[in-house]
Amino acid sequence: MKCIINRRAEFSASHRYCLSELTSAENIQLFGDGSRFPGHGHNYELYVSLEGELDDYGMVENLSTVKKVIKQEVTSQLNYSHLNDAWPEFQETLPTTENIARIIWQKLEPHLSLVNIKLYEHPKLWADYQGKNMEASLTVKTHFSAAHRLASPQLSLEENTEIYGKCARPHGHGHNYHLEVSVVGKIDSRTGMLVDLGALQQVIDDYVVEPFDHTFLNKDIPYFAQVVPTAENIALHIANLLSSPIQSLGAELDKVKLIESPNNSCEIYCRLGGSQNSNNTLTKELEPAISI
C-alpha cells in the first residue's frame, strides 16, 4: 500500500518581476508594483509531498534524509537571496510563485519520490506543481460576509425545521465565508505566470466578493430565491459564475473551496467528474466533496 508523506520547510527571499526586453513603463503595465526596483520579499512556506511503499522501518523515506536534501538543494540556496539571481533558471523565466514551485520540483526530483510541491508566497496565495511540464495551479484566498436561511420555498416552516434545524429560522443567520479559488494553466516561459494575478483577483471580486458581501443571500442574490443557499449550493454557484471569466483569462477553473465555519467546508472540483454544457456552465455532475 502506498503512502504520501509531507515535509515542511521555509525560506525568506526577495524577487522582482522585470523583463529586460521591456521598458520601465511596459514592466509596470505588465507587473504593477511587482516590477519596482529593487524588488520585494516574502516568507515562503514549502510543502514537499512524497509517495512510496512503506519500508521495513515503517517509512516512505527517511525524514532525516528528506530534510537534508531539501536544505541542500533548495532552502540553503534560496534563503535570504534575491531569487532573480539565485538560480540561472530565473534569468529565463521570472520567479513567480508557480515557477518557483516548478524549479524546486526539478531540483528535488532526482533525489526524492515527489508527487506534489506546494509553495505559499503568503497565506492568501499559493501554487501547486506536480511535474506536468509547464502546467501548474495557483490558488487565491479571499473572504466575504453574508447571511442566509436554509429553507425551501416549497416547504412549511415545520418541514424546513425538520430538515435544516435551527438554520431554518425565519430571520436567518450569518457567516464569515472564506473562499479559495484554484486555477490551472500553462506557465508562460518568459513571465513565469499561468494567469494575470491582478486580473484573476479582479474577476473574483467582480463576480463574487462584491455581489455577495454583506448580503442576505436568499433575498439579495436572485439565484438563491429558489435554491437553498447551503454551503454546497453556494460553492457550486460560485464555480458557475467564475468558470467562463477565468477561461477568458487563459486559465481553467480547477477547484472552489468554501469554508463556512471552522467546522464546515465544501469543495467543488471543476475538472474531475464534471462537465460543461455549451454555455460553459458547470452542470450538477460536479459533486461537492464536503468535510465537516
* Fold agreement between 1-131 and 133-292: yes
Neighbours of 55 (CB within 10 A): 10
pLDDT of 226-257, one tens digit each?
999 999 999 999 999 999 999 999 999 999 99
| 131-155 mean pLDDT | 97
- For residue 127, which phi and psi values (nearest 5 degrees)? -125, 150
Q: How many helices (H) and strands (E) does the chain have?
A: 11, 11
Neighbours of 142 (CB within 10 A): 16
| 184-199 mean pLDDT | 96
**pLDDT number for residue 159:** 96
Q: How far apart are CA 16 and CA 22, in angstroms?
A: 14
Neighbours of 195 (CB within 10 A): 22
Neighbours of 250 (CB within 10 A): 15
CA atoms within 13 A on the CB side of 206: 9
| CB-count exposure of residue 27 (10 Å: 0-12, 13-18, 19+) | buried
**pLDDT number for residue 127:** 98
**pLDDT number for residue 2:** 87
Q: Tell me whether residue 167 is one of the annotated catalytic residues.
A: yes
pTM equals 0.90
Q: How far apart are CA 50 and CA 73, in angstroms?
A: 16
pLDDT of 22-47, one tens digit each?
999 999 999 999 999 999 999 999 99
- For 1-131, CATH number out of 3.30.479.10, 3.30.70.20, 3.40.50.300, 3.40.50.920 equals 3.30.479.10
CA atoms within 13 A on the CB side of 116: 13
**pLDDT number for residue 163:** 96
| 213-217 mean pLDDT | 98
pLDDT of 14-24, one tens digit each?
999 999 999 99
Catalytic residue, candidates 260, 266, 267, 270: 260
- Name the nearest CA neighbour of 267 among 284, 247, 288: 288
**pLDDT number for residue 1:** 76
Q: Which three cell numbers stand for residue 89?
A: 533558471
Place of cell 510543502: 47
Q: What is the percent of the chain with per-residue pLDDT over 70, rounded to a whole number?
A: 93
pLDDT of 256-278, one tens digit each?
999 999 999 999 999 754 434 33
Q: How far apart are CA 197 and CA 138, in angstroms?
A: 9
Q: How far apart are CA 173 and CA 170, in angstroms?
A: 9
**pLDDT number for residue 272:** 56
- Name the nearest CA neighbour of 170 among 182, 183, 190, 156: 156
| CATH superfamily, domain at 133-292 | 6-pyruvoyl tetrahydropterin synthase/QueD (3.30.479.10)
Catalytic residue, candidates 40, 122, 173, 214: 214
Q: What is the percent of the chain with per-residue pLDDT over 90, rounded to a whole number?
A: 88
Q: Tell me whether residue 260 is one of the annotated catalytic residues.
A: yes
pLDDT of 78-101, one tens digit each?
999 999 999 999 999 999 999 999
| 181-190 mean pLDDT | 97
218 close to 245: Cβ distance less than 8 angstroms: no
Can you give the residue ranges of every domain in the chain? Answer: 1-131, 133-292
Q: Tell me whether residue 270 is one of the annotated catalytic residues.
A: no
- For residue 121, which phi and psi values (nearest 5 degrees)? -80, -40
